[in-house]
């Protein structure tokens, strides 16, 4: 369980405390709730206190980034806070593609014979991240982690940051034998290919679907039947499935499971898009955090995995984050620790005119962003006085109307009620949370 963040009466960050201690302070009136997610309390009669060093750690990933706060105590390093941030890079890319297609269609319909603008081919891209340009879909991943590093630094006495610089050799992924004997020696021999396959097949046996067991690299098309060592011909399988398949063609081995065969073939042909994104942004996150003034140090992904496996911790992006760096070699993670799941949702859209699926206008966007002090994405409490959904519901506003009627999604239902029945808990910040 994550610790509760504590602020002094002047909003100075103090050491996070156990949830039981936070409940006691709230019950005795010595503290008040400052923020719901992540849960933070503010003391009423205390400005300062003794603090120990806390390290912020980040482990970037293709779909999510793991973050952690590790306290350095006399007894050793201990995980205080862990979370996984699910990126919205795919949504950003889809929005850009949609905008581009609408712009091209509009130009084609209304200015069919217009000549290109002068110097169109000479346009240059401005640096948008640490002195270099990154695609918006990749930059959003960097911004998510950088925003949370700054946010946690305001809630806890963070002394320094440790960032994992993930780097995959795409040539080795395509052909593991390309670099000769040097790549096949050392403690981390074969790490890149294995780690990529684990990510690609979701750490699940490709044939039986089991998880949480030792997995082996397996050739989809056996070497004895002309298969190659390219990553597109490799899969992850448990030992029983690997031995049972032996040198059989995959079509013969899965003759009675055509759905599994189709899935494996689709996964085998999956592109290296996430790998390329991680390579492109591997220094960007450290540069962004360092630019905020926080002492930032970079570590290899190989050392992170070595730290985690040596201590016997199960895989997780938040667990990888806790094991980043020198202190990650001996960090205590409480049993049954539940990280906070954070999903980046964005803060709405700037699109002025809504369109249908063919790109034709179908209506204008709302004229006001906030109604009666509420806006879409706010965490609210609804007290429904009567009707089918009578009672108290807590959730996020899914939609607002100018007439003062709001929609809330709570308990798996969409409920509509008047603004007078809502009370604000926390402003929308572009993220959704799940414990």
Per-residue pLDDT, 125: 80
Under the phi-then-psi rule, with left for phi > 0, alpha for psi from -120 to 50, and beta for the rest, what region is 302? alpha
CB count in 10 Å sphere of residue 244: 13
The angle that helices 136-155 and 284-291 make with each other, rounded to 10 degrees, is 40
DSSP 150-194: HHHHHHS-EEEEEEEE----HHHHH-TTTTGGGGG-STTTTHHHH
pTM confidence score? 0.76
Q: Which two tokens stand for residue 401?
A: 């109307």
Would you state the pLDDT for residue 186?
44
What pLDDT was estimated at residue 212? 83
Q: Quick one: pLDDT at residue 4?
A: 96
Check residue 431 and give its pLDDT. 92
| Crossing angle (nearest 10°) for helices 301-311 and 191-200 | 80
**Predicted pLDDT of residue 171:** 47
Instruction: Read off φ and ψ for residue 17, nearest 5 degrees.
Output: -120, 170
Q: How far apart are CA 416 and CA 419, in angstroms?
A: 10
Q: What are phi and psi of 69, to 5 degrees?
A: -115, 125
Cα–Cα distance for residue pair 314/17, rounded to 1 Å: 25
pLDDT for the residue numbered 181 = 42
Q: Give the neighbor-by-neighbor strand order of the sheet with 31-35.
A: 13-17, 4-7, 40-43, 31-35
Q: Pull the structure tokens for residue 227.
A: 């298969």
Instruction: Evaluate the omega torsion of the peptide bond into residue 67 and state whether it is cis, within 30 degrees of 0.
Output: no
pLDDT for the residue 112:
66
- In this prediction, residue 400 carries a pLDDT of 87
Look-up of token digits 């603004």: 419
Helices (H), ranges, 87-159: 89-110, 136-155
Cα–Cα dist 425/313, whole Å: 36
Give the list of residues 6+ apart from residue 371 with CB closer than 8 angstroms, or none: 400, 401, 402, 404, 406, 419
Specify the pLDDT at position 182: 42
Residue 381 CA to residue 393 CA, distance in Å, equals 6
* Cβ pair 270, 62 in contact under 8 A: no
The predicted structure's pLDDT at residue 169: 52
Low-confidence ranges of the chain (pLDDT < 70): 110-112, 167-192, 269-275, 366-367
């Amino acid at each position: 369980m994550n610790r509760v963040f504590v602020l002094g009466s002047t909003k100075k960050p103090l050491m996070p405390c156990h949830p039981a201690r936070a409940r006691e302070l709230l019950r005795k009136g010595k503290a008040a709730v400052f923020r719901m997610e992540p849960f933070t309390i503010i003391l009423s009669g205390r400005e300062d206190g003794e603090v120990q060093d806390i390290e912020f750690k980040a482990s970037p990933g293709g779909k999510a980034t793991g973050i952690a706060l590790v306290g350095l105590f006399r007894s050793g390093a201990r995980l205080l806070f862990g979370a996984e941030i699910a990126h919205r890079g795919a949504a950003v890319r889809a929005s850009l593609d949609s905008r581009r297609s609408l712009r091209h269609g509009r130009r084609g319909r209304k200015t069919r014979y217009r000549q290109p603008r002068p110097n169109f081919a000479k346009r240059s891209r401005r640096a948008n991240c640490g002195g270099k340009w990154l695609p918006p879909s990749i930059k959003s991943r960097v911004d998510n982690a950088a925003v949370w590093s700054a946010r946690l630094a305001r809630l806890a006495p963070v002394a320094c940051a440790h960032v994992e610089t993930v780097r995959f050799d795409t040539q080795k992924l395509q052909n593991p034998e390309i670099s000769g004997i040097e790549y096949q020696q050392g403690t981390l021999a074969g790490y890149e290919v294995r780690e990529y396959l684990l990510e690609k097949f979701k750490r699940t046996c490709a044939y039986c679907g089991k998880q949480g067991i030792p997995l082996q690299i397996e050739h989809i098309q056996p070497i004895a039947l002309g298969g190659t060592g390219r990553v597109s011909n490799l899969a992850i399988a448990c030992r029983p499935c690997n031995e049972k398949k032996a040198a059989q063609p995959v079509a013969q081995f899965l003759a009675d499971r055509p759905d599994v065969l189709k899935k494996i073939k689709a996964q085998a042909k999956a592109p290296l898009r996430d790998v390329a994104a991680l390579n492109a942004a591997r220094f960007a996150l450290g540069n962004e955090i360092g630019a905020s003034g926080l002492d930032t140090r970079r570590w290899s992904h190989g050392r992170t995995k070595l730290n985690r496996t040596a201590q016997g911790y199960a895989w997780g992006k938040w667990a990888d984050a806790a094991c980043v760096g020198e202190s990650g070699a001996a960090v205590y993670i409480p049993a049954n620790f539940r990280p906070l799941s954070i999903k980046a949702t964005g803060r709405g859209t700037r699109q002025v005119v809504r369109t249908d699926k063919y790109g034709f206008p179908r209506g204008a966007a709302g004229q006001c962003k906030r109604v009666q002090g509420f806006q879409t994405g706010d965490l609210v409490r609804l007290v429904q006085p009567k009707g089918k959904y009578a009672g108290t519901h807590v959730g996020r506003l899914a939609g607002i109307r100018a007439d003062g009627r709001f929609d809330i999604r709570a308990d798996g239902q969409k409920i509509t009620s008047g603004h007078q029945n809502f009370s604000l808990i926390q402003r929308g910040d572009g993220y959704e949370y799940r414990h």
